[in-house]
Amino acid sequence: MRLPSLFGNSRDESADRPGSFDVEGTVYAIGDIHGELELLRALVRRIRSDVNNTASPNPKELIFMGDYVDRGKNSKGVLEYLASLDIPGCKLVFLRGNHEQQMIDFVDDPLKKIRWLEWGGMETLSSFGISPIFPGADDDEIIAAADEFGKALGQLRHFIEDRTILSKRIGNIIFTHAGMDPGRNIDDQVSETMLWGNDQFMRIGGPPGFWHVHGHVIHEEPGIYGNRIAIDTGAYKTGILTVIRITAQGCSFLQQTL
């Protein structure tokens, strides 16, 4: 477990960022999960314990940062777990990542979106019991696999389409999967940037005056870079899943390994 102080791992003290977190209560955000169900379960157990701790200020809100599927072992299990998750005393928010969007796009237009298979889709198909699509498969085989997968996905597609959002603002903190364009106002952002990221965001941060919590790009350590806070620690590669805990008094990172 790692619990840095408020501005631990800061890389740019001169950035235009708030001096504090303008939030009420306690906000948690979990980085990219990518099919790592057991890491997710273990981390949520620890969050439940903190939610039940009377020393943690109310209200409490838990934000999942997207990229629930692909690359890891059990994308189906992660989606089922999240779709049924309930933590009394804590509101749940689900952001959409580019991998969820790619997955749905493949079901709808498999020949155009076949690249999804190279970006972790094969592992997702396997978790749903769908036979792998081998290189050189013809169009009919690809379309048939997408149709089979769409049926297997079933109600979990409704979870993604109905319950995931692109951004969440709490006080002076913006949560997005991949960040925002620093050259646009908060209300003028486009979905492509929030799903896929922006080079300028990674270099100079998001629109000034806000903290920007994001996943999408793996960092060796979670940390504060100007006004952006990165919490994707590559769970499927490193075996480390990270949550940030934010209150008006500061933020800390907690990491789960198995």
The per-residue pLDDT for range 5-63, each reduced to its tens digit, is: 333 334 444 457 899 999 999 999 999 999 999 999 999 999 999 999 999 999 999 99
Give the long-range contacts of residues 103-112, CB within 8 A, separation 24 or more. Answer: 103/69, 103/70, 103/160, 104/157, 104/160, 104/161, 106/146, 106/149, 107/146, 107/149, 107/150, 107/153, 107/157, 110/142, 110/143, 110/145, 110/146, 111/139, 111/142, 111/143
pLDDT of residue 12: 46
The torsion region of residue 25 among left (phi > 0), alpha (psi -120 to 50) and beta comes to left
Residue with tokens 């109905």: 162
Which pTM does this prediction carry? 0.93
Tell me if the bond preceding 59 is cis, omega within 30° of 0: yes
Residue with tokens 């919490």: 231
Task: State the pairing for strand pair 241-247/250-256.
Answer: antiparallel
Classify the C-alpha dihedral 250-1-78-52 as positive or negative: negative
Query: Average pLDDT, stretch 163-179?
Result: 98
Query: What torsion do the CA atoms of 223, 87, 39, 128 make, to the nearest 10 degrees?
Result: -120
Task: State the pairing for strand pair 211-214/228-230.
Answer: parallel
Q: Quick one: pLDDT band at residue 258, thresholds 50, 70, 90?
A: confident
What domains are there in the chain, each with its CATH number? 26-93+157-256 (3.60.21.10)
pLDDT of residue 11: 43
Tens of pLDDT, residues 188-215: 999 999 999 999 999 999 999 999 999 9
Tens of pLDDT, residues 79-129: 999 999 999 999 999 999 999 999 999 999 999 999 999 999 999 999 999
Geometric angle at alpha carbon 243, from 68 and 65, rounded to 5°: 35
Query: Average pLDDT, stretch 146-150?
Result: 97
